[in-house]
Amino acid sequence: MKDSIELSYAETLEEALKFGQSDLFKIVIVNPVTLNNSKKSLNNILTLYNKSNVIGLISNHYDRNLSDNFADNIFITDRHETITQIISKHFNAAPTSTNDIDNTLSEREIDVLKLLATGKSNKEIAEQLFISIHTVISHRKNISNKIGVKSTAALVIYAVANGLIDVDGFTE
């Protein structure tokens, strides 16, 4: 027996977030334009629909960094067969880990975040990684922009939640 297909449609990001139940959808197709080129908005979608394959529907100019985070991309100019093939490929496939930290942060940003989360100062991080304090500050800004948090405490929580540091190993 064939799987039944139920379609839901949201005109805005807010409407998409109202659906709320990530396990209801096997595939979520998102036009990056509705995200206003916001990495934070994309992370909200990827987190909410983490049990779904999130595919980008590219209709015009877009931020390439956002589209690279989707499980796949469908271009508005793609032929019907191509669109069908992409959707079929993801319909019964396990969701890809598009919001995995390794896809979001560079290796060096992860190094900085790990040290920051263990309580190191910018100066200590710079010395340990053999980089300038200005580079550490730049990495911190990039990390904050990519994951959508500003405070050091939130960065630490993010590092713990994503397994970058082991809280059991802390004894001070």
The CATH number linked to 117 is 1.10.10.10
pTM (two decimals): 0.42
DSSP H helices, the chain, are: 13-19, 39-48, 64-67, 80-91, 101-104, 107-117, 122-129, 133-147, 152-161
Q: In what order do the strands lie in the sheet with 27-30?
A: 27-30, 53-58, 72-75
User: Is the same domain home to 28 and 80?
Assistant: yes
Note the pLDDT tens digit of each residue in 56-101.
877 666 555 566 667 777 777 777 788 778 887 877 666 655 444 4
Number of domains in the chain: 2
The CATH number linked to 54 is 3.40.50.2300
Q: Which neighbouring-strand residues pair with 55?
A: 29, 72
User: Is the same domain home to 52 and 109?
Assistant: no
